[in-house]
Amino acid sequence: MYTEELLSIIPLKKITGQLPNTIKDISIDSRSVQPKSLFVCIKGETVDGHNFAQKAVDAGATVVVSERELSLEGEVAQVIVKSTERALGLLASKFFDYPSNDLMMIGVTGTNGKTSVSGIIHHMLVGMGERSALSGTIGFELNGVLYETANTTNDVLSTQQMIFRAKMEGCRAMVMEVSSHGLALGRLAGVDYDVAVFTNLTHDHLDFHGTMEEYGNAKGLLFSQMGQDFTKNKYVVLNADDPWSEKYEKMTSYPVWTYGLKNDAIFKAENCNYEDGLTTFDMHTPEGKFPVSMHLLGEFNVYNVLAATAVFYARGFTIEEIIEQIEDLAPVRGRMERVKTDLPLQIFIDYAHTPDAIEKAISAALPYKKQENKLIFLFGTGGNRDKSKRPAMAKEASRADYVILTTDDPRYEEYDSITSDLAKGMTHDNYACIGDRAEAVRHAVSIAEPGDIIIFAGKGHEDYQIIENTKYPHSDAEIAIEAGRLKFV
Ligand SMILES: CC(=O)N[C@H]1[C@@H](OP(=O)(O)OP(=O)(O)OC[C@H]2O[C@@H](n3ccc(=O)[nH]c3=O)[C@H](O)[C@@H]2O)O[C@H](CO)[C@@H](O)[C@@H]1O[C@H](C)C(=O)N[C@@H](C)C(=O)N[C@H](CCC(=O)O)C(=O)O
Ligand SMILES: Nc1ncnc2c1ncn2[C@@H]1O[C@H](COP(=O)(O)OP(=O)(O)OP(=O)(O)O)[C@@H](O)[C@H]1O
């Protein structure tokens, strides 16, 4: 791309040195700079990209965008701007030619349910014959291939790259999980959403946002940044049972479709029943009441499919077409996913790591528990992250008959510091603190008796644990099955 044309998008810049006629790529990471590229210095939490500018030039960058003039050796032009983060959003969108304009962009935000709802929408789109891409906590899924990504909502450059790739590979839609960090840090600059979906807002990430108010406002950016273009079929899908929906409704002028189980909503479920691995309910819609039967477990998944129903109905699909897809849905990976095993136990893998998600996961399993059996709940939490949620998580977990307090990704925090914070919220004494997660999983199996249910929460689809800054292979399901074989066979 012509360098001047690209740079024309950033106002109030100072240029030093001779700009090359064209640049071939944009990069924010000196470790993957291609020759003839433009390197943008981003100040991170842990390191500052300005300190890697020389490495980027050595690797072939011919333009460096920075917030201060740097003394660089080699043939390089410098573009000095007030905020490189803001400039990057503009540059990345222009470089990839605003790819989100060519796709139906669906953004899903909320504390819990982003992965589930976006996965459900993506699989329903594919089931209806639409080519769709998906990005979120599980990675970037494009035409059946899953690529690993760093974040739930990735940096602004990777985001534009992903949307561009989706467009180039023939996708017509892209479903994205939109995290509050992503919104607050401007990682979605230049993404033009057609549909914005809200699941719920409960306690999480207060280490970053400070207060629930700030956290809720960050999520609100998804709705307020949708624009005012009424020539496009844009709309918003809100959870009528969550008080934040009223605020989000005010943040957008696009049509609002609501769903829920309690308050008045356009799509409302009642008579929910959970039996024999099936969830059934009656769905009230603008066209009357329809019975639904699906393989996804728990009330939280009723909410999730109602949200997806609103997305598809507003797009013009019939209720019959939508229900046919819902009845076909397989469980979302690692979200109350039943482990296939010959052991005389019911084992679920789940990703709950907030108080509300723990409450929902336990409620989802209880209908499958017989009076004489136990519900064993193992959960952890990440080290060096929002500590204020820990006792509240344990309080919810106390609804299980036996609780094992452990760690998710302990990072640099001591096991005992994590488990003792959790223990402060326990409301009964039937629990154990075992920081080493593999040992904790084995303990869960060792105390289980035939007919018991075990939920391993917090790691979901992940097949690793991060201890200090190293990823170690870890699978709750594999450890549990091995321990179960030794015990029961
Ligand atoms: C605290 C935080 O948000 N950190 C994010 C941040 O990392 P950072 O600030 O440390 O930045 P950095 O990667 O060290 O480096 C800064 C710059 O220097 C560059 N660099 C760095 C090293 C080098 O050798 N050369 C070089 O050029 C980097 O490419 C970057 O441009 O920027 C990185 C690149 O965008 C992110 O991957 C990283 O997310 C980390 C992994 C993270 O855990 N973030 C969490 C808090 C997060 O964002 N979570 C949300 C919510 C998930 C949820 O809802 O549960 C998410 O969306 O994932
Ligand atoms: N709609 C929902 N409401 C409340 N809890 C939910 C909902 N959907 C899923 N959950 C619970 O929350 C856990 C996490 O679900 P999911 O991964 O879909 O959420 P998420 O918002 O993507 O979370 P994260 O941002 O941490 O990746 C699930 O394992 C389940 O226990």
Is residue 333 scored above 90 in pLDDT? no
Q: How far apart are CA 408 and CA 470, in angstroms?
A: 13
8 Å CB contact between 133 and 198: no
Residue 210 has pLDDT above 90, yes or no: no
Distance, CA 46 to ligand 1 centroid (Å)? Answer: 8
Pocket test for ligand 1, best of 25, 32, 43, 47 (most atoms within 8 A of CB): 47
43, 49 contact by CB (below 8 A): yes
Give the pLDDT band of residue 336 (cuts 50, 70, 90): very high
Q: pLDDT for 385-431, tens place per residue?
A: 889 899 999 999 999 999 999 999 999 999 999 999 999 999 999 99
203 pLDDT tier (thresholds 50, 70, 90): confident
The confidence score (pLDDT) of residue 445 equals 96
Report whether 309 contacts 283 (CB < 8 A).
Answer: yes
Closest listed ligand to the CA of 348? 2
**What is the four-CA torsion angle of 197, 199, 202, 207, rounded to 10 degrees?**
-50
Ligand 2 centroid to residue 110 C-alpha, Å: 9
Domain boundaries defined on the chain? 3-95, 99-327, 337-488
Q: Is 457 exposed, middle or buried (0-12, 13-18, 19+ CB in 10 A)?
A: buried
Fold of 337-488: Protein-Tyrosine Phosphatase; Chain A (3.90.190)
Q: What is the pLDDT of residue 481?
A: 94
Note the pLDDT of residue 160: 97
Q: Which fold has domain 3-95?
A: 3.40.1390
213 within 8 A of 175, measured Cβ to Cβ:
no
Digit-coded pLDDT (tens) for 338-366: 999 999 999 999 999 999 999 999 999 99
Which fold does the domain 99-327 belong to in CATH? UDP-N-acetylmuramoyl-L-alanine:D-glutamate ligase (3.40.1190)
The reported pLDDT for the residue numbered 225 is 94
CA atoms within 13 A on the CB side of 353: 20
Rounded to two decimals, the pTM is 0.91
Identity (one letter) of the amino acid at 195? V
Choice from 45, 156, 179, 204 to test ligand 1 binding pocket (greatest atom count within 8 A of CB): 45
Q: For residue 390, give Cα distances in angstroms to 17, 205, 270, 395, 429.
A: 53, 12, 33, 9, 17
How would residue 209 be classed by pLDDT, with cut points 50, 70 and 90?
Answer: confident
Q: For the chain, what's the residue count?
A: 489
Query: Which protein residue's CA is at the shortest distance from atom 13 of ligand 2?
Result: 352
Long-range contacts, 33-39 (Cβ 8 Å, 24+) = 33/59, 33/60, 33/61, 34/59, 34/60, 35/59, 35/60, 36/60, 36/62, 37/61, 37/62, 37/63, 38/3, 38/6, 38/62, 38/63, 38/64, 38/65, 38/91, 39/63, 39/64, 39/65
Is residue 458 very low, low, confident or very high in pLDDT (cuts 50, 70, 90)?
very high
Q: Can you give the C-alpha Rg of the chain in angstroms?
A: 24
Cβ distance 71 to 119 under 8 Å?
A: no
Average pLDDT for 307-333: 95
Dihedral class, residue 438 (left if φ above 0, else alpha if ψ from -120 to 50, else beta): alpha
Distance of CA 336 from the midpoint of ligand 2 (Å)? 10
Residue showing tokens 């005992």: 416
pLDDT at 397: 97
